[in-house]
Amino acid sequence: MEIETLLPALAFYLFAGVAVMSALMVVIARNPVRSVLFLIMTFFSAAALFVMLGAEFLALLLIVVYVGAVAVLFLFVVMMLDVDFVELKQGFAEYLPLGALLSFVLAVELIVLGATFRMPKEFVAQTPITADVSNIEAFGRVLYTDYAFFFEAAGLILLVAMIGAILLTLSTKKDVKRQKVCEQVSRTPKDGLKRVDVKPGEGI
Amino acid sequence: MEFLFDTATPLGWFIVKTLVILAFVVVLLVSLAFILLADRKIWAAVQMRRGPNVVGAFGLLQSFADFLKFVFKEAVIPAGVDKPIYALAPVLTLVMAFITWSVIPVAPGWVIADLNLGILYVLAISSLGVYGIILGGWASNSKYAFLGSLRSTAQMISYEISIGLVLITVLLLSGSLNISTIVEAQSGGFWNWNGIALSPLTFVMFPMMVIFFISALAETNRPPFDLPEAESELVAGYQVEYSSTFYLLFMIGEYLNIVLMCAMISLLFLGGWHAPFDFAPFTWIPPVLWLAIKICFIFFLFSMVKAIVPRYRYDQLMRLGWKIFLPLTLLAVILVAAWVTFIAGGA
């Protein structure tokens, strides 16, 4: 085999193997924090596979969004949880048959899908990939022309979700003192000081 | 022997790239030693102290002495730590700090990987830097370290947003994510530099440069935003349980990130390796030196801020990030996009 084809093949099997193994470790790791770390490893391997496909933009986006933001929040939550590891492991044997059944069904479905699915001809290379256009430019051209409506709709849905999340967590308590920077800065000696004439022998 | 260095073959390419990377790392580390010393000297001078002055002339060898001291100390691993993760955290910090430098061009063509998505790569890797801190704090099995790492994570995530938006304004102007292209777009004299260009847009871009500078301070946990390692409250934050080489790795990673931020400001806003004037006495200085001068200048500002400005309170820090920088940078993105589309004639 030529070295030009051998090296990518080796790299693919390395990344794919690491992805599968770390995905397995997410499930069987004892410590939840380590589970999250293995999840990050899975994301990373997936990103590497994207790079091998020539989709660098997707790969970097995967790292920025999933590894840089989502997994950090996972890690945050898992670290703060007071998890009893012994209790966590107790139900393992009980749930094993159900879990095995589910994963078996899933595996069979995937295999059947993989064996039978053929890409319809009209979908193949609908937007031809040209070498002179960089990854992000190609994305932009498709996203802001053909799929502009879907893109905007997705943005709108995210906006609504964000406003909803803010509304749900917003709580204004009356007895909490808040700092008003504007008031603080605009304070003059006039507002804060009072001159009192104290008569001798009386006090205030 | 020559076939070993022939970049056309995979083996030759591998060998040449490895040598280049090694040279880059060595240069970076040696300059870092002197930058560390400069940091301490400037800090000392502001406080009317002398700073390190014993090892070598003017204390020039102080960082190397410190390096030896760190390496030969005993690595104390506290009881109850999660050992693999405890060891992984500083290594991760250092590696993340180093691999970001692979896309930073230091002169025309002097770059290890000339990625088309260079800026996005920098953003992606810098968002990973937080893992070293959060894992170090958690694995240490100490309340101080954990609190420090939580603070640091929240802080870095908050300021990454404004950094990202400021980056968007820059790449809107040059229409590319490739850092070399962004620098080339600023050639021809200081009146073309993004941060201080002679155009109405500078009223937007100069504040953006300042916001990037302040966010960089927060992102790298420098004073006045050094709450993760606030020595008066948390002893040393996430690093408190680390000693000897582990601590050294954390420290090198941190300073590499600081210098990286200085380099980013120089490349994105101050014309990178371009001389301020495009004629004779200025163009005699090689491009790489111009970049070094700019990086040193920005680093001088970093040290002066450390010496002068008192530490922020945590809620003030969050307020600055979310309530002031986020709206301002969003507004700037809109303004710059409008400028590029309607006035500068489309990108």
Residue A181 distance to chain B (closest CA, Å): 9
Alpha-carbon distance of B225 to B325, in angstroms, equals 15
Q: Which of A7, A63, A136 sits opposite B124 (nearest CB)?
A: A63
- Minimum-distance CB partner of A75 among B115, B117, B134: B134
What mean pLDDT do residues B311-338 have? 89
Is the predicted pLDDT of residue B1 greater than 70, yes or no? no
CA A129 to CA A125: how far, in whole Å? Answer: 8
Q: Report how far residue A47's alpha carbon sits from residue A29's, in angstroms, rounded to the nearest whole number.
A: 22
To the nearest 10 degrees (0 to 180), the angle between helices B10-46 and B244-269 is 90
> Using a CB cutoff of 8 Å and minimum separation of 24, what contacts does A61-67 make?
A61/B120, A63/B124, A63/B125, A63/B127, A63/B128, A64/B120, A64/B123, A64/B124, A64/B127, A67/A40, A67/A43, A67/B124, A67/B127, A67/B128
Q: Is A68 on the interface with B (CB under 8 A)?
A: yes
CA angle, corner B196, sides to B192 and B201, nearest 5?
85
Nearest CB neighbour to A68, from listed B124, B138, B315:
B124
With an 8 Å Cβ cutoff, are A56 and B150 in contact?
no
- A116-127 pLDDT, tens digit per residue, is 877 766 655 555
A107: which 2 tokens? 């595996």
Backbone angles phi and psi of A53, in degrees to 5: -80, -5
CA distance, residue A203 to nearest chain B CA (Å): 38
Angle at B9 between CA B4 and CA B10, to 5 degrees: 95
Contact state of A179 with B120 under an 8 Å Cβ cutoff: no
Under a CB-based contact definition with an 8 Å cutoff, are residues B329 and B165 in contact?
Answer: yes
Res A69: pLDDT: 82
Q: Do B134 and A72 touch (CB under 8 A)?
A: yes
Q: Dump the DSSP string for B110-124.
A: --S---TTHHHHHHH
Which residues of chain B does A31 touch, with a Cβ-Cβ cutoff of 8 Å?
A: 82
Q: Do A135 and B115 touch (CB under 8 A)?
A: no
For the cut 50, the answer to whether the pLDDT of residue B40 exceeds it is yes
- For A154, A161, B342, the CA distances from A144, given in Å and listed in that order, are 13, 22, 18
Instruction: Provide the pLDDT for residue A127.
Output: 53
* Interface check A12 vs B, CB under 8 A: no
Q: What is the mean pLDDT of residues B153-169?
A: 87
Q: Does B87 contact A at CB distance below 8 Å? A: no
Residue-wise pLDDT for A43-91, tens only, equals: 989 999 988 887 888 888 888 888 888 888 888 888 877 666 666 667 7
Residue B347 confidence (pLDDT): 47
A31:B82 CB<8 A: yes
SS3 for A102-151 is HHHHHHHHHHHHHHHCCCCHHHCCCCCCCCCCCHHHHHHHHHCCCCHHHH
CB pair distance less than 8 Å for B85 and A37: yes
Q: How far apart are the CA of A194 and the nearest CA of chain B, in angstroms?
A: 29
d(CA A65, CA A44): 12
Q: Alpha carbon B309 to chain centroid distance?
A: 20
Share the mean pLDDT of chain A. 83
Give me the pLDDT at residue A123, please.
59
From A180-184, B92-96, B181-185, the region with the lowest mean pLDDT: A180-184
- Asked if this assembly's ipTM is beyond 0.90, the reply is no
Section B253-281 average pLDDT: 87
| Interchain CB contact of B116 with A (< 8 Å) | yes
pLDDT on residue A203: 72
User: Region B109-120: what's the mean pLDDT?
Assistant: 84
Average pLDDT over residues B51-78: 85
Residue B189 CA: distances (Å) to CA of B171, B194, B273, B286: 19, 11, 11, 15
Q: How confident is the model at residue A131 (pLDDT cuts 50, 70, 90)?
A: low
Q: Which residue in B144, B291, B164 sits closest to B230, CA to CA? A: B144
Residue B84 pLDDT level (bands cut at 50, 70, 90): confident
Instruction: Read off the pLDDT of each residue in B295-307 and give the average, rounded to a whole number.
Output: 91
pLDDT value for B154 = 82
CB B304 within 8 A of CB B223: no
CA–CA dist B310, B55 (Å, integer): 30
pLDDT greater at residue B9 or residue B171: B171
| Maximum average pLDDT range among A65-74, B203-212, B217-226 | B203-212
Q: Which one has a higher pLDDT value, A202 or B27?
A: B27
* B131 and A CB contact within 8 Å: yes
Q: What are phi and psi of A200, to 5 degrees?
A: -60, 135
Q: Residue A63 and residue A72: Cα distance in Å, rounded?
A: 11
Whether residue A33 and residue B85 make contact (CB cut-off 8 A), yes or no, is: yes
Chain A positions touching B125 (Cβ under 8 A) are 63
Structure tokens at A184: 């603080």
Chain B contacts of A66, Cβ < 8 Å?
none
Count CB pairs under 8 A between chains A and B.
Answer: 62
Binary contact (A69, B120; C-beta < 8 A): no
Q: Is B159 on the interface with A (CB under 8 A)?
A: no
A181 → chain B, closest CA residue = B316
Q: Helix, strand, or coil here: B20?
A: helix
By C-alpha distance, the chain B residue nearest A2 is B10
Dihedral sign for Cα B296, B297, B298, B299, please: positive
Q: Which residue has the tokens 């053929």?
A: A118
> What chain A residue is nearest to B146 in terms of C-alpha separation?
A79
**Is the CB of B138 inside 8 Å of chain A's CB atoms?**
yes
- Highest mean pLDDT: which of A104-113, A126-135, B155-164? A104-113
